[in-house]
A and B are shown apart, each in its own frame.
Chain A
Amino acid sequence: MTVTDETTEAALQERFDATLADGRKIEPRDWMPEPYRQTMIRQIAQHAHSEVIGQQPEGNWITRAPTLARKAVLVAKVQDEAGHGLYLYSACETLGISRDELNRRLHEGRQKYSSIFNYPTLTWADVGAIGWLVDGAAITNQVMLTRTSYGPYARAMIRICKEESFHQRQGFEIMHTLATGTDEQRAMAQDALDRWWWPSISMFGPPDAESVHTEQSVAWGIKLETNDQLRQKFVDQTVPQADYLGLRIPDPDLRWNEERGHYDFGAIDWDDFWKVVRGDGPCNRERLEHKRATWEAGAWVREAALAHAAKKSGRDTTTEEAR
């Protein structure tokens, strides 16, 4: 449908605004302003890509998990992340963009994924730290997003949040086992916390004062809390957990502020954050190269499946789809 009549467009905008003002959801076939659609595509795609790329750092430890039980849990967790990516691609496609186009934009570096996955997993404790901290931070953000204004995104988030809590708990349990183990194991847990703490609290994005998207996203009901509010929530929840583990959070400025009723914490190194976002983190190139390589290596499977379906249906769907 093309809307050329200005009054019609104004009426549509008014109805869109009223839907948001009432706290109701925007659904795929509703009229929506083009910038809202593009913002939603960008955000859901980036979220989907993060779930998919996020399989790599943890997948790195599947063959070396310390016990069969740990291995089974890790496989189930990584499999969930693949599922999360697929729920989100499915939600994103309702905005009128194809799966192939989303893959292409990721592979060509035109859409991003969360920078957290550009750090390496050097020891088994990193698998614990990721579940505890990275999934923990993701959950804080995702719980908010279950109430986001775009219906398919909100529903995907509800499904995802139900599955996430096991991710964080298995990570915490790994950390607990190491933290109550030998001196060497405790040192390994502490080292993982030291390396993952700052990247984890950076996951919420730049401070509100510098965030280009926050204000508009709040106005559109996409975000219901700001980056700084979510970060504070995560820090407040996590500090007591670190205390319980007997591990030290690597921030000399971290202390309870009685007056605010929150933990104060030190300044994040945003230069490092932006360096990783721009592509110069420790694993950026490796992650994207691996993703592209698996996509290429899987091409014959996709082609064979199409050929098989065409043969079975007795017609050439290959040429039909190509038109």
Chain B
Amino acid sequence: MRASEQGWPLWEVFVRADRGLNHVHAGSVHAVDAETALQAARDVYTRRAEGVSIWVVRSTEIVASDPDRRDDWFGDLKPYRHPTFYEIPDAIGHM
């Protein structure tokens, strides 16, 4: 295998569209290091100035919960945590 075929590492790209908003996942790029990953991310995902800031994270560094065990993680609904669980008389107005 040629050296160039070993594949550049994969980086996940997050773009903040504007001040005050979250960085949102946009996709991924391949790059040999953090600096060139940032440059590639800018060229690929923000050709129309879609962002004010970019994060790149090595894909292998992301730890994710297992979607097949969603119920273990998120199945505990606890409806009483939502305001609509409680009945408030109309007479007292908005609460």
Contact = CB atoms under 8 A, between A and B. Distances in A.
Asked if A and B are interacting partners, one says yes
Q: How large is the interface on B (under 10, 10 to 19, 20 to 34, 35 or more residues)?
A: 20 to 34
B16 interface: no
Query: Helix, strand, loop or mixed for chain B's interface?
Result: mixed
Interface stretch (A245-253, A262-270, A301-309): A301-309
A315 B29 CA distance: 22
Interface string A278-317: 0000000000000000000001101101111100110001
A80 interface: yes
B68 to A, nearest CB: 6
A321 B7 contact: yes
B33 A313 contact: yes
Contacts of A90: 27-29
Contacts, number: 70
Given A86-B44, A90-B28, A29 B64 contact: yes
B7 A99 contact: yes
Contact of B66 (A29, A99, A156): A29
Contacts of A317: 32
Given A163-B48, A303-B3, 10 more contacts: A12-B68, A29-B66, A83-B45, A90-B28, A163-B47, A306-B6, A312-B33, A318-B6, A321-B6, A322-B6
5 contacts: A86-B44, A98-B7, A152-B27, A159-B26, A322-B1
Interface of B: 1-10, 26-30, 32-33, 36, 43-45, 47-48, 64, 66-68
